[in-house]
Chain A
Amino acid sequence: MYYATLEGLRRFNIPHKFEFVSIITLYAKWIREGRIKVDSSWNTEGLKFTVQDPCKLVRQGIGDEVADDLRFVIKQVAGEENFIEVWPNKSNNYCCGGGGGALQAGFSENRRKYGKIKFDQLAATGADVVITPCHNCHTQVLDICSHFGGKWKTTHLWNWLEKALVRDK
């Protein structure tokens, strides 16, 4: 929806008055402005985090800025030292293999074979948590993790933001 609308407006040069913002950008903005406060002290075990940069959001959508914001928020939430970069990343990232209807279309074997590349890249980070700010990526990464025997937890960003949020007394 997000990307389809954005790209439609861009491709057909449709005049519009609204701007496109990702919730990730807003999280980052709010943290930078101090409107929400987060604290990574909950992460006593030192859980390691990495990301799956969604194609539609990063490479085809907003670009590297949003990927940088994503990393900023994770580091604030989970601790600077607990973020591990995946390679390749940001706009040069690989597709997870779940988009474009692949998850719904059957052909699971082909989808998973494609996803094996992504699985290897994520597994190479050794992270405990893979943040996937896209529902397609989420489902695919969840699936290839269990299928190929990965050890990580696949989640969205807000689960951890909620954990780290400092609430006013």
Chain B
Amino acid sequence: MSNKKNQQGNTGALSEVSGSVLVVGGGIAGVQAALDLADSGFYVHLVEKSAAIGGGMSQLDKTFPTNDCSACILSPKLVECGRHLNINLLTLSELVSLEGEPGSFKAVVKQNPRYVDPEKCIACGTCAEKCPKKVVNEFDMGLGKRKAIYLKYPQAVPLKYAIDAQHCIWLNKPGRCGMCEKVCPSKAINFDDKPTEHMLEIGSVIMAPGFKPFDPSRLDYTGYGRLPNVVTSMEFERLLSPSGPCMGHMERPSDGKEPKKIAWLQCVGSRDINRACHGYCSSVCCMYAIKQAVIAREHSESGDLDASIFFMDMRTHGKEFEEYYNRAASEGVKFHRARIHSVLPSGENDNLRVRYAGEDGEIRYEDFDLVVLSVGLEMPQQAIELAAKAGVSLDADKFIVTDPFKPVSTSRNGVFVCGAAAEPKDIPQSVMEASAAALEAGRILAPARWKDTKKKEYPPEKNVYSEPPRIGVFVCSCGINIASVVDVEAVTEYAKTLPGVVLAQNNLFTCSQDTIDQMEETIRKEGLNRVVVASCTPRTHEPLFQETLRNAGINKYLFEMANIRDQDSWVHQNEPEAATEKAKDLIRVAVAKVRGDAPLPYNSVKVTKSALVIGAGVAGMTAAVSLADQGFPVTLVERKDDIGGHARKFYRTWQGNPVQDYLASLVDTVKSHENIDLKCGVSVKGVSGSVGNFTTVLTDGTELKHGVSIIAVGAGSFKPDSDSRWNYLYGKNPNVHTLLELDQKFIAEDSSLSGINQTVFIHCVGSRVPERPYCSRVCCTHAIDQALKLKELNPDMDIFMLYRDIRTYGQRERLYQEARAKGIIFIRYDLENLPAVTEEGGNIKVTVKDPIIDAEVELNPDMLVLATAVRPKVDVHDLAKFFKCSIRADGFLMEAHMKLRPVDFATDGIFLAGLCHYPKPMDETIAQAQAAASRASIVLSQDEIPAESITAQVDPRKCTGCAVCTEVCAYNAVSIDEATEKAVVNEAMCKGCGACVAGCRSDAITLKNMGNEQIMAELETIMDNW
């Protein structure tokens, strides 16, 4: 049946498929999916229920494990999403219905009224300032207030106000208030705004509705809702955030005092089948609690904040998480292994008393100023309803059902899912899945690529080289944002006097559509060849004005901005005269700079539309098939003679799906795919070129031209040497095995297993140890699943698990619960008390200290299984050098950005997937491979890709060929020409970072439009009036 459908999809119906995709949910997952799709040739409708995109990530203060400011790394993606020609952003909207088949769905989306015309709103904030109605601010988790007309948060995209219909006085009693309408300088308020319905024709759908923090009100033992100084972790994020209710000063709710002693209580609403009804682990709380403890200590004014984390198992199973945990502990964050009994008031001062049992079994009480509940993630009610409308199934935990071998596919064909709606997960994992979902959504629509997208056309560009500068200066009033402080008339008059300026004018809102149109007209009519806009920040508005120049037939680099709002009128409100003088200074400098600006080329590189995938394990094969299915030729290179990688040794996934059947069909697809050229027994010998145009030489002498590369070389498994501390008789006693060796016995249906009376598993063999500090992520789940399999074979078998922390994150927790229910005994050990394994007459003896009974336990297993570490491949270094990829100290490859670019390398056009990135189970490997393919598709779907215009250039007369520039360049863009012995810059690879300019000892390198002459012109003109 499904085959038949596929065939239909591949033939007749193809011309009919839509080139558009619906993405539901504007959090980081939805935004990433939308960007990937829009960048690879599909038109995206992005539906967000609130007034702005950004989701849960926009509420966070910092993100683990890099401590990056969340808003700072998220904002650029949001801005890009908001401005994208091929993303139709539908805020305040919800999906009503979804009908049809993959390739041609019909969706009805209801858009609720904003009551503010986004075309007119300039986000000056006057309306909110004057609005008399205060409302609880849900963005601050109810800790602060906002107005009934509001901006969801300062960096909101779209940066447009919205009226809260529930609380607006006018909307509830027309005629009563209307203050915002009176004060709005751009007449943007529209009380008559009505809901609209959009009928969208799309080919596929991505669901990214996100999560909701668990509400701990019903867990009375936490005191939440009764004791003011008990807050949730999301509330604490807002308390830490500079844009939060206390401007990042960390004040506790009861009295506004800075807390000196804070407790974090883990697993509130997670791993609790008793009262919270959530058996699963929320995966992220251990890490965010450690992060909050670290950041709170940084925030604390005295610097000696006492931070305690009460946990059951510390689950720091992600990349760099364990190191982060170790660092926090060594810096003084206290970790107590205890699930707290209750939080009580502690006499006076609104302090809190926590009752818990110490590891020695003693009951202890400790007082804190503030208690933070590390609440879990759950599916929001709205998302449950959305799933019903979209016709996708939910599991027992109410998350969207997926398949381990199709990790982003839902129960409905053509509908995909990413992010926390499928299972609680962190940001990198959500971003990975978002790209994976984008790939899957686009794969079935590949024939319709570029069908529905819009393309911007510009008029031919006027050559201004030989013309004297004719500069136009546009001074913005920004409503009253600038004009109420700066004397814009005087500034405009002053601008006219500057050398080269032929026109200066003042506009109420330079960015409004009518002014933009008029500016374009003025440039043409007045024959302007340079433009300065004195207004707000280039961060949000430079692209808009540059586009206006292009529309008027002027090169967009003949433009400068003077920020006389954020850096002038806003910060010098009380000194209007000085602010006016500063505005003049800023404009004078901008004019001096623009005079020297030259038109720059819009560089681009032609793309070779084929891919090289290195490594033919599950990750490499998945990536290869994903690209090949879209029609891109792929060369898949495998060093060994056979393909399949580690998966050949796996028995089943944690969900219980047999791996070998899946692997066989994947291998079959790879071998028979018309677009895949499989090369076994070879590896990479050398690489040259850059994104779009790589040339790779293989060890068999083949030379390949390709546009992108995906590195999926996998990892190895740790096998303890005979003299290693972690040896445990491995290789000495025939009944000691690694997890993978036991899996092979399962695959072979070894009948001797059912005769075993006792099995002992030792966890963390070679992981989380000084020489290999990371957690191998997969072993806890794998070992417990194997124990359950042994119980299936022989229900009477005694099984002991010697572990350090059980890390069955997410829904894997179910296996842990099942294992305990089936009588498997878990004994915890730590590095100070390692299990001792000895042999007496061929019989294994394991001695371990059980901390619960505080006694040595002696076990005599028939089989000992070691959960050994996943270890990076040693020879990945060569490959990394060829492609200029970085490697972390632990030997795993380093992605471009841990949080938001988890499958990209800093070098463009190269992507990674699978175990070479970090240990991960098969479902995550497949998702990451799909994500890498998605990112690669963005490049491969273009005929040519834009390259940086502001590039470095070498003056060969000054260059001494010392090669410092080639050393400092992070992008491999500078090299020494062998013939001339001078440095040359590859413009396609240059990012314009300026490192080489600063590094050059001979002053031979400059950045275009940022040469010494221009910088000196700016400096000198600053001094003019002094």
Chain A positions near chain B (C-beta within 8 angstroms): 64, 85, 87-88, 90-92
- Pick the residue among B220, B344, B345 that contacts A90 (CB under 8 A): B220
Residue B326, interface by CB 8 Å: no
CB-nearest residue of chain B to A85: B345
Q: What's the nearest-Cβ distance from chain A to residue B145, in Å?
A: 28
Q: What's the nearest-Cβ distance from chain A to residue B349, in Å?
A: 15
**Inter-chain contact A87/B344, CB cutoff 8 Å:** yes
Q: What's the nearest-Cβ distance from chain A to residue B929, in Å?
A: 48
Q: List 12 A-B contacts (CB under 8 A).
A: A64-B220, A85-B345, A87-B342, A88-B220, A88-B221, A88-B342, A88-B344, A90-B220, A91-B220, A92-B220, A92-B221, A92-B342
Beyond A64-B220, A90-B220, A92-B342, list 5 extra A-B contacts (CB 8 Å). Answer: A87-B342, A87-B344, A87-B345, A88-B342, A92-B220
A90 to B220 Cα, complex, angstroms = 9
Residues of the B chain whose Cβ atoms lie less than 8 Å from the Cβ of A64? 220
Residues of the B chain whose Cβ atoms lie less than 8 Å from the Cβ of A91? 220
- What are the 9 A-B residue pairs with the smallest beta carbon separation, nearest first? A92-B220, A87-B344, A92-B221, A88-B342, A91-B220, A87-B345, A90-B220, A88-B344, A92-B342
Residues of the B chain whose Cβ atoms lie less than 8 Å from the Cβ of A87? 342, 344-345
Q: What's the nearest-Cβ distance from chain A to residue B227, in Å?
A: 9
A87 to B345 Cα, complex, angstroms = 7
Residues of the A chain whose Cβ atoms lie less than 8 Å from the Cβ of B345? 85, 87
A64 to B342 Cα, complex, angstroms = 17
Within B675-714, which residues are at the interface with A (CB < 8 Å)? none
A92 to B226 Cα, complex, angstroms = 12
Chain B positions near chain A (C-beta within 8 angstroms): 220-221, 342, 344-345
Q: What's the nearest-Cβ distance from chain A to residue B216, in Å?
A: 13
Residues of the A chain whose Cβ atoms lie less than 8 Å from the Cβ of B344? 87-88
Residues of the A chain whose Cβ atoms lie less than 8 Å from the Cβ of B221? 88, 92
CB-nearest residue of chain B to A91: B220
Q: What's the nearest-Cβ distance from chain B to residue A121, in Å?
A: 9
Residues of the B chain whose Cβ atoms lie less than 8 Å from the Cβ of A88? 220-221, 342, 344
Q: What's the nearest-Cβ distance from chain A to residue B339, in Å?
A: 15
Q: What's the nearest-Cβ distance from chain A to residue B504, in Å?
A: 69
Residue among B220, B221, B345 with most chain A CB within 10 A: B220
Q: What's the nearest-Cβ distance from chain A to residue B981, in Å?
A: 80
A99 to B597 Cα, complex, angstroms = 89
Q: What's the nearest-Cβ distance from chain B to residue A38, in Å?
A: 26
Residues of the B chain whose Cβ atoms lie less than 8 Å from the Cβ of A85? 345
CB-nearest residue of chain B to A64: B220
A147 to B478 Cα, complex, angstroms = 77
A91 to B275 Cα, complex, angstroms = 12
A114 to B653 Cα, complex, angstroms = 49
Residue among B221, B342, B344, B345 with most chain A CB within 10 A: B344
A154 to B545 Cα, complex, angstroms = 79
A91 to B342 Cα, complex, angstroms = 12
Q: What's the nearest-Cβ distance from chain A to residue B460, in Å?
A: 75
CB-nearest residue of chain B to A124: B347
CB-nearest residue of chain A to B345: A87
Residues of the B chain whose Cβ atoms lie less than 8 Å from the Cβ of A92? 220-221, 342
A85 to B220 Cα, complex, angstroms = 14
Residue among A64, A85, A90, A92 with most chain B CB within 10 A: A92
CB-nearest residue of chain B to A121: B344
A90 to B219 Cα, complex, angstroms = 12
A21 to B345 Cα, complex, angstroms = 31
A43 to B345 Cα, complex, angstroms = 27
CB-nearest residue of chain A to B220: A92
Q: What's the nearest-Cβ distance from chain B to residue A118, in Å?
A: 14
Q: What's the nearest-Cβ distance from chain B to residue A95, in Å?
A: 14
CB-nearest residue of chain B to A92: B220
A31 to B411 Cα, complex, angstroms = 56
Residues of the A chain whose Cβ atoms lie less than 8 Å from the Cβ of B342? 87-88, 92
Q: What's the nearest-Cβ distance from chain A to residue B676, in Å?
A: 61
CB-nearest residue of chain A to B347: A124
CB-nearest residue of chain A to B219: A92
A85 to B226 Cα, complex, angstroms = 11
A64 to B220 Cα, complex, angstroms = 10
Q: What's the nearest-Cβ distance from chain B to residue A84, in Å?
A: 11
Q: What's the nearest-Cβ distance from chain B to residue A85, in Å?
A: 8
CB-nearest residue of chain B to A59: B220
A91 to B345 Cα, complex, angstroms = 16
Q: What's the nearest-Cβ distance from chain A to residue B276, in Å?
A: 14
Q: What's the nearest-Cβ distance from chain B to residue A123, in Å?
A: 13
CB-nearest residue of chain B to A93: B220
CB-nearest residue of chain A to B346: A87
A92 to B221 Cα, complex, angstroms = 6
Q: What's the nearest-Cβ distance from chain B to residue A45, in Å?
A: 23
Q: What's the nearest-Cβ distance from chain A to residue B787, in Å?
A: 35
A90 to B344 Cα, complex, angstroms = 13
A92 to B219 Cα, complex, angstroms = 9
Q: What's the nearest-Cβ distance from chain B to residue A92, in Å?
A: 4
Q: What's the nearest-Cβ distance from chain B to residue A78, in Å?
A: 21
A87 to B365 Cα, complex, angstroms = 14
A58 to B403 Cα, complex, angstroms = 44
A90 to B226 Cα, complex, angstroms = 12
A85 to B342 Cα, complex, angstroms = 15
Residue among A64, A85, A88, A90 with most chain B CB within 10 A: A88
CB-nearest residue of chain A to B355: A88
Q: What's the nearest-Cβ distance from chain B to residue A40, in Å?
A: 24
Q: What's the nearest-Cβ distance from chain A to residue B878, in Å?
A: 61
A14 to B220 Cα, complex, angstroms = 30
A87 to B220 Cα, complex, angstroms = 11
Q: What's the nearest-Cβ distance from chain B to residue A169, in Å?
A: 42
A115 to B220 Cα, complex, angstroms = 22
Q: What's the nearest-Cβ distance from chain B to residue A58, in Å?
A: 11
Q: What's the nearest-Cβ distance from chain A to residue B355, in Å?
A: 9
A129 to B474 Cα, complex, angstroms = 77
Residues of the A chain whose Cβ atoms lie less than 8 Å from the Cβ of B220? 64, 88, 90-92
CB-nearest residue of chain B to A90: B220
A8 to B345 Cα, complex, angstroms = 36
Residues of the B chain whose Cβ atoms lie less than 8 Å from the Cβ of A90? 220
A61 to B778 Cα, complex, angstroms = 45
Q: What's the nearest-Cβ distance from chain A to residue B46, in Å?
A: 42
Q: What's the nearest-Cβ distance from chain A to residue B371, in Å?
A: 14
Q: What's the nearest-Cβ distance from chain B to residue A35, in Å?
A: 30
A64 to B344 Cα, complex, angstroms = 17
Q: What's the nearest-Cβ distance from chain A to residue B360, in Å?
A: 20
